[in-house]
């Protein structure tokens, strides 16, 4: 009976750590079938994506990935012993399937990601020979494991790139940032390729150990240099953004210091606010409590309470905290422009990709800093502040002293906060997944299928982004409309979107009759109810007969 091959504990540790790191990054939904995903299934998925692109007149050369798949096939043989009895092996190829599927919705990104992945093939090519001659060499196993770590780092960066909210918007400006990370990983692969060659030709263990330490030291030094350059570049761009926004970033610090100094005279006298039920619910980021208003007469300590809440939230580290204090004592602090510019700056200041986006799109292009521009930017970045696609980043916004702003500015501040909440919840992954599934079921119900394969192919061909799905549904609705019908559809959507309160069926029928008839309204002949059926599934009738969009993201 043959003995089991010897396995390097160091190799197993390297593989386990790399696996755990990627597992924390990829969501459970996306990784659900990774354990059973074979390389053949990934290749089949790549061909399916190729066929779907061809059907959209966007055929791409997927043969660029063939050397990669061949390299992964040969490489997998070299780590079989180290991965035996674990789910680790499939993770060197399974992420490619989901990354190709997501990125295929945006061809420019798809091309670049394919190009990046094809670069991995060259360092893996020599495993066609190495795994046959040296797969039982314990010393080489540790070096082989370094390739596993490099490949999973590559998957991690690619996945984070395509899974972050709004990635298509930020693609052109953030790709350079990600490409530098990809380049670093490719350099690591090439260094480990040389290490394999050297290790295979060396007999002394001390020499092998020294070579491995030298390679690791060089890799670490190169990574630190890239990180340092990235930090310096980001810091410079952030300073330029502060100048573009024309913000006195010391003003809020001065105001906060004054409030904090007052608090320190009477420590712990405001802690009671943290135990209040409504405050506690709001701090836990519940969808049922998105807004909270502290009311009281001037001088009753509202600013002190707001500051205590902000301090507690920051110390807990469970959310991003954006705070702003309006006060008569600092005149410009009550300007609406200053409020929204400060909110934008706080949202982006710790996110290098968002900083790069604003720098390249607005500063290099010398775009003006108008209120409408800042509002649009806030709504763009609010859903993209998270660096980890598998985790939700919550944002608490605290605006103190709103009553000290001009009356004409108070509704503007409230409006942008409401729009931020709507936008943030519109891109929440769990909500989007539920809505996407709901729309898919509606699509399947209204089409005819005979075989399971037809159903699966139809679902795979549907857009993966909600906005694209909405656009496809809308295009299908109006495909047979004349101009008058399109106008009436716009009218229905407009009433639902902008009415001060949800309109019931009878009210909406009346409203449509008044807004579409130029020669008077016959109350005996109101708009027929079947018009609303034609707008499904973008709108729905609720139990009280009021009509609403199926989700706020439809309105957005």
What's the mean pLDDT in 12-31? 91
Domain co-membership, 447 together with 406: no
Q: Is the pLDDT of residue 436 over 60?
A: no
Residue with the bigger pLDDT between 293 and 453: it is 293
pLDDT band at 130 (very low <50, low <70, confident <90, very high): low
Residue 152 in domain? yes
Domain co-membership, 413 together with 338: yes
Residue 210 in domain? no
Least confident span in 234-243, 364-373, 541-550: 541-550
Q: How many structural domains compose the chain?
A: 3
Over residues 297-312, the pLDDT tens digits come to 776 778 888 888 888 8
Q: What is the pLDDT of residue 435?
A: 46
pLDDT band at 432 (very low <50, low <70, confident <90, very high): very low
Residue 3 in domain? no
What's the mean pLDDT in 311-333? 84
Q: What is the pLDDT of residue 97?
A: 93
Domain co-membership, 97 together with 111: yes
Residue 77 in domain? yes
Longest Cα–Cα distance in the chain: 98
Over residues 66-77, the pLDDT tens digits come to 999 999 998 898
Domain co-membership, 308 together with 333: yes
Domain co-membership, 124 together with 253: no
Q: What is the pLDDT of residue 530?
A: 80
Question: What is the average pLDDT score of the chain?
Answer: 79
Q: What is the pLDDT of residue 441?
A: 56
Residue 236 in domain? no
Query: Cα–Cα distances in Å, from 184 out to 68, 96, 133?
Result: 18, 19, 29
Domain co-membership, 172 together with 60: yes
Q: What is the pLDDT of residue 531?
A: 82
Over residues 93-112, the pLDDT tens digits come to 999 999 998 888 788 888 88
Domain co-membership, 395 together with 256: yes
d(CA 443, CA 462): 9
Domain co-membership, 49 together with 142: yes
Residue 235 in domain? no
Q: Is the pLDDT of residue 386 over 70?
A: yes
Domain co-membership, 55 together with 87: yes
pLDDT band at 281 (very low <50, low <70, confident <90, very high): confident
Residue with the bigger pLDDT between 439 and 300: it is 300
HEC sequence for 102-143: HHCCCHHHHHHHHHHHHCCHHHHCCHHHHHHHHCCCHHHHHH
Residue 208 in domain? no
Query: Cα–Cα distances in Å, from 30 out to 88, 107, 159, 295, 353?
Result: 16, 21, 10, 45, 23
d(CA 459, CA 455): 6
Tally the residues of the chain.
Answer: 556
Q: Is the pLDDT of residue 341 over 80?
A: yes
Domain co-membership, 100 together with 74: yes
Q: Is the pLDDT of residue 45 over 60?
A: yes
Q: What is the pLDDT of residue 171?
A: 75
Q: What is the pLDDT of residue 411?
A: 87
pLDDT band at 548 (very low <50, low <70, confident <90, very high): confident
Residue with the bigger pLDDT between 2 and 392: it is 392
Q: Give the CA-trace dihedral at 36, 41, 45, 50, to 10 degrees.
A: 170
Residues spanned by the domain of 85: 9-201
Least confident span in 31-35, 264-268, 360-364: 264-268
Residue 239 in domain? no
In 3D, which of 5, 2, 1 has the Cα closest to residue 144?
5
Least confident span in 137-141, 355-359, 464-468: 464-468
Domain co-membership, 310 together with 195: no
Over residues 477-509, the pLDDT tens digits come to 777 788 888 888 888 888 888 776 778 888 888
Over pLDDT 90: what percentage of the chain? 16
DSSP state of 488: H
Q: Is the pLDDT of residue 296 over 90?
A: no
Strands 539-541 and 547-549: antiparallel
Q: What is the pLDDT of residue 336?
A: 92
């Amino acid at each position: 009976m043959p003995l089991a091959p010897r396995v390097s504990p160091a190799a197993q540790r390297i593989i386990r750590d790399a696996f755990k790191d990627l597992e924390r990054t990829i969501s459970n939904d996306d990784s659900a079938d990774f354990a059973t995903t074979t390389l053949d299934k990934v290749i089949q998925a790549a061909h399916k994506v190729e066929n779907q692109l061809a059907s959209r007149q966007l055929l791409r050369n997927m043969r660029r990935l063939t050397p990669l798949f061949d390299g992964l096939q040969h490489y997998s043989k070299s780590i079989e012993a180290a991965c035996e009895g674990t789910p680790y092996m499939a993770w060197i190829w399974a992420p490619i399937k989901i990354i190709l599927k997501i990125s295929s919705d945006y061809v420019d990104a798809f091309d670049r990601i394919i190009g990046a992945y094809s670069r991995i093939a060259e360092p893996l090519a020599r495993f066609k020979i190495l795994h046959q001659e040296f797969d039982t060499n314990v010393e080489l196993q540790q070096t082989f494991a370094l390739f596993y770590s490099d490949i999973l780092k590559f998957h991690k960066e690619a996945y984070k790139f395509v899974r972050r909210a709004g990635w298509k918007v930020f693609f052109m400006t953030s790709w350079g940032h990600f490409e530098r990370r990809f380049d670093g990983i490719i350099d690591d692969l090439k260094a480990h390729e040389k290490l394999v060659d050297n290790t295979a030709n060396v007999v002394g263990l001390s020499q092998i150990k020294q070579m491995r330490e030298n390679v690791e030291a060089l890799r670490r030094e190169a990574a630190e240099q890239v990180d340092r350059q990235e930090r310096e570049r980001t810091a410079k761009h952030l300073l330029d953004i502060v100048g573009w926004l024309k913000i006195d970033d010391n003003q809020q610090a001065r105001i906060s210091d004054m409030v904090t100094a007052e608090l320190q005279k009477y420590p712990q006298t405001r802690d009671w606010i943290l135990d209040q039920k409504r405050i506690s619910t709001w701090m836990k980021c519940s969808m049922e409590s998105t807004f909270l208003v502290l009311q009281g007469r001037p001088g009753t300590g509202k600013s002190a309470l707001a500051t205590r809440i902000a301090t507690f939230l920051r110390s807990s580290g469970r959310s991003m905290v954006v705070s702003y204090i309006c006060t008569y004592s600092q005149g410009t602090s009550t300007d609406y422009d200053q409020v929204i510019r400060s909110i934008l700056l706080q949202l982006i200041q710790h996110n290098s990709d968002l900083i790069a986006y604003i720098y390249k799109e607005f500063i290099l292009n010398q775009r003006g800093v108008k209120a409408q521009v800042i509002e649009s930017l806030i709504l763009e970045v609010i859903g993209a502040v998270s660096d980890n696609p598998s985790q939700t980043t919550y944002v608490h916004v605290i605006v103190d002293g709103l009553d000290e702003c001009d009356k004409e500015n108070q509704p503007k501040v409230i409006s942008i906060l409401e729009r931020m909440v709507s936008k943030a919840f519109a891109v929440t992954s769990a909500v989007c997944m539920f809505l996407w599934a709901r729309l898919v079921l509606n699509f399947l119900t209204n089409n005819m299928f005979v075989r399971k394969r037809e159903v699966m192919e139809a679902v795979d061909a549907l857009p993966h982004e909600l906005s694209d799905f909405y656009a496809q549904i809308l295009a299908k609705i109006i495909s047979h409309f004349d101009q008058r019908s399109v106008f009436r559809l716009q009218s229905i959507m407009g009433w639902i979107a902008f009415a001060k309160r949800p309109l019931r069926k009878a009210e909406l029928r009346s409203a449509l009759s008044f807004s579409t008839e130029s020669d008077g309204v016959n109350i005996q002949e109101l708009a027929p109810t079947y018009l609303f059926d034609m707008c499904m599934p973008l709108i729905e009738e609720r139990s009280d007969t009021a009509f609403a969009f199926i989700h706020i993201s439809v309105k957005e």
